């Protein structure tokens, strides 16, 4: 069996990762190969200089009333897996960045055009059997959903229509919605002769708009979400005022897929075969953090306040006695930190956690970037609380070495389709405090491998988060032996790709 994986990110390649989808597309092909499958992976070529490209073919792609030429390159072939990229100026004109930010007035405009062309190029490659002997086309998130639209509605693609289409949803909150017409970034602008059924691919809230995510759900043979619990959550209507995030407007389509036996929840895995990472001491980590802060500072002629305060904090901590670290690594978005942003008598909930941590002689280290408003709020907490360090950026080494250094990993996501950060923390023996949703519920067991809180409303969730945080740090402080048992349990927990790949084969492909 030959599987073609299609997505926007792939961490097997340099500078081709933003989120967890890149980890999945990096790892699952090799796990499938261990079961005897042949796997090919194709992503856009974002212009990475480090790639060694071997030319395969030029592809003529009808797009926006022109015949565009894209090029297919093989960049790696090993262990039964072929890695491909497709080159075109649409992919590389953004300075090597994977995604564009078009602002609130034209959301997804540049990216939707880019990935519509990518999908069209993939369809041409398949139809002309440039990558041959395929059995399954596995599409990842809205960026690849255009393949399903063209496969269903374009008469050009005859061979493609004979292949099975599998669609994986990694993040239902991002759907890539664009108008059907009257815009240069619209379905009819990209494919003006396409005779499509708007009822199957329109957005429920904005019926004059094309929804790529919904298209993938309705047009593919099998739907896969990335944890068992999430497969039930997405069938419920989101209730943000109550702190519940489910189907995000697509719950009806998810319920239909479930009733048809097309919806499966299979957890993502974690790579345990990676070489032992360098572990840093507390003081060594602060030195590494200082280097990164200087690097971030150097990107601007003016010193940004967030980096100045962070540098002052690192300098102060270096002169003080070592403390236990509560760590957090990830994107600074509402999905991840909505609960930390709720207002409280002390400022916001992150202030409350800082006061609790101070009571137990602990520091909080947060590494990440994302929403500018949330970043500003976290910076202000850092200015108010001497035991908080907010490292507003990302550095691979800084993240990797924080996992084994921390004593408690904080991941209070409001929704989490699967999550990889908690698995990485557990792999390094750091118990996690998580909100019992999605993949967090499926990977962390309360008082066994970590700590889990819940709540029927935002208020309850905040109260239970603070209470669980205090209980965890109290246990660390008063019963280190029991806490170490939880740490060892976390470290021994396994979410192996090999076994999960067998589920892919039996549930998604066969």
3-state helix, strand, coil in the chain (%, to 5): 40, 20, 35
Task: Return d(Cα 229, Cα 245) in angstroms, integer.
Answer: 13
| Residue found by looking up tokens 């101070």 in the block | 358
- H helix or E strand, kind and range, residue 73: strand 66-78
Under 8 Å between Cβ of 254 and 184: no
pLDDT in tens, 119-177: 999 999 999 999 999 999 999 999 999 999 999 999 999 999 999 999 999 999 999 99
pLDDT in tens, 426-441: 999 999 999 999 999 9
Question: Measuring CA to CA, how many Å separate 105 from each of 102, 108, 210?
Answer: 8, 10, 16
Side-chain-side CA neighbours of 507 within 13 Å: the count stands at: 19
**Region 184-189: what's the mean pLDDT?**
98
CATH 3.30.1490.20 fits 282-494, yes or no: no
391 strand-pairing partners? 367
Give 273's DSSP letter.
Answer: -
| φ/ψ of residue 232, rounded to 5 | -90, -40
Per-residue tokens: 173: 């909150």
pTM: 0.94
pLDDT in tens, 350-362: 999 999 999 999 9
CATH 3.40.50.2000 fits 2-223, yes or no: yes
Per-residue tokens: 325: 């670290």
| Residue found by looking up tokens 């592809």 in the block | 59
pLDDT at residue 142, rounded to an integer: 98
Task: Return d(Cα 90, Cα 68) in angstroms, integer.
Answer: 11
pLDDT at 95 over 90: no
Task: Return d(Cα 487, Cα 483) in angstroms, integer.
Answer: 6
Q: Which long-range contacts (CB under 8 A, 24 or more apart) does 17-26 make?
A: 18/98, 18/99, 19/170, 19/171, 19/331, 20/170, 20/268, 20/418, 20/419, 20/420, 21/140, 21/141, 21/170, 21/171, 23/268, 23/271, 23/420, 24/140, 24/168, 24/170, 24/226, 24/268, 25/140
Nearest to 126 by CA among 84, 168, 98: 84
Question: Measuring CA to CA, how many Å separate 11 from each of 28, 42, 118, 174?
Answer: 11, 12, 18, 20
Task: Return the SS3 of 169.
Answer: strand
pLDDT in tens, 390-415: 999 989 899 999 999 999 999 999 99
CB atoms within 10 A of CB 320: 9
- The angle formed by the CA atoms of residues 403, 169 and 5, to the nearest 5 degrees, is 90
pLDDT at residue 437, rounded to an integer: 97
Question: Measuring CA to CA, how many Å separate 250 from each of 154, 174, 213, 236, 471?
Answer: 25, 12, 9, 9, 37
pLDDT at residue 24, rounded to an integer: 97
Question: Measuring CA to CA, how many Å separate 334 from each of 337, 352, 355, 370?
Answer: 5, 18, 22, 9
Task: Return the SS3 of 138.
Answer: strand
* Same topology between domain 2-223 and domain 282-494: yes
Question: Measuring CA to CA, how many Å separate 224 from each of 135, 287, 320?
Answer: 17, 43, 49
Q: Where are the domains of the chain?
A: 2-223, 282-494
- H helix or E strand, kind and range, residue 56: strand 54-63
Per-residue tokens: 74: 């093989």
pLDDT in tens, 246-299: 999 999 999 999 999 999 999 999 988 765 667 899 999 999 999 999 999 999
The two counts, helices (H) then strands (E), for the chain are: 20, 19
CB atoms within 10 A of CB 17: 18
Nearest to 135 by CA among 4, 302, 303, 21: 4
CB atoms within 10 A of CB 505: 16
For residue 103, what pLDDT band results from cuts at 50, 70 and 90?
confident
pLDDT at 204 over 60: yes
């Amino acid at each position: 069996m030959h599987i073609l994986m299609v997505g926007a990110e792939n961490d097997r390649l340099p500078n081709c990762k933003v989120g967890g989808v890149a980890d999945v597309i990096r790892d699952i092909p090799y796990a499938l190969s261990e079961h005897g499958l042949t796997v090919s992976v194709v992503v856009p070529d974002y212009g990475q200089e480090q790639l060694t490209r071997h030319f395969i073919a030029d592809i003529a792609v009808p797009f926006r009333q022109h015949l565009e030429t894209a090029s297919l390159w093989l960049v790696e072939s090993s262990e039964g897996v072929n890695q491909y990229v497709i080159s075109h100026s649409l992919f590389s004109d953004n300075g090597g960045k994977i995604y564009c930010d078009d602002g609130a007035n034209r959301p997804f405009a540049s990216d939707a055009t880019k990935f519509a062309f990518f999908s069209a190029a993939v369809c041409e490659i398949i139809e002309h059997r440039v990558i041959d002997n395929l059995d399954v086309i596995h599409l990842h998130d809205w960026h690849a959903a255009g393949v399903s639209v063209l496969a269903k509605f374009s008469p050009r693609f005859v061979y493609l229509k004979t292949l099975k289409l599998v669609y994986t949803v990694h993040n239902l909150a991002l759907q890539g919605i664009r108008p059907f017409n009257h815009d240069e970034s619209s379905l009819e602008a990209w494919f003006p002769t396409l005779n499509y059924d708007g009822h199957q691919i329109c957005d429920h809230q904005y019926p004059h708009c094309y929804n790529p995510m919904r298209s993938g759900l309705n047009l593919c043979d099998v739907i896969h979400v990335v944890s068992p619990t999430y497969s039930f959550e997405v069938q419920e209507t989101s209730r943000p005022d109550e702190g519940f995030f489910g189907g995000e407007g697509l719950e009806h389509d998810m319920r239909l897929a479930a009733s048809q036996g097309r919806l499966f929840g299979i957890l993502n895995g974690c790579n345990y075969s990676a070489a032992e990472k360098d572990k840093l001491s507390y003081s060594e980590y602060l030195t590494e953090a200082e280097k990164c802060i200087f690097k971030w500072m150097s990107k601007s002629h003016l010193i940004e306040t967030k980096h100045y305060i962070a540098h002052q904090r690192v300098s102060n901590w270096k002169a003080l006695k070592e403390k236990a670290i509560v760590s957090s690594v990830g994107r600074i978005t509402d999905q991840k930190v909505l609960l930390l942003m709720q207002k409280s008598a002390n400022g916001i909930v992150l202030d409350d956690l800082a006061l609790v941590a101070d009571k137990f002689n602990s520091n909080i280290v947060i590494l990440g970037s994302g929403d500018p408003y949330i970043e500003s709020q976290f910076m202000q907490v850092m200015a108010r609380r001497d035991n908080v360090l907010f490292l507003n950026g990302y550095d691979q080494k800084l993240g990797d070495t924080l996992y084994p250094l921390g004593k408690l990993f904080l991941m209070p996501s409001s929704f989490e389709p699967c999550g990889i950060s908690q698995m990485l923390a557990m792999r390094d023996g750091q118990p996690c405090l998580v909100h019992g949703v999605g993949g967090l519920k499926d990977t962390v067991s309360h008082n066994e491998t970590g700590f889990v809180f819940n709540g029927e409303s935002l208020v309850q969730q905040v109260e239970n988060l603070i209470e669980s945080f205090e209980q965890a740090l109290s246990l660390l402080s008063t019963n280190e032996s029991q806490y170490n048992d939880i740490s060892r349990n976390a470290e021994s927990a396994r979410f192996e790709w090999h076994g999960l790949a067998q589920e892919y084969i039996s549930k998604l492909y066969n």
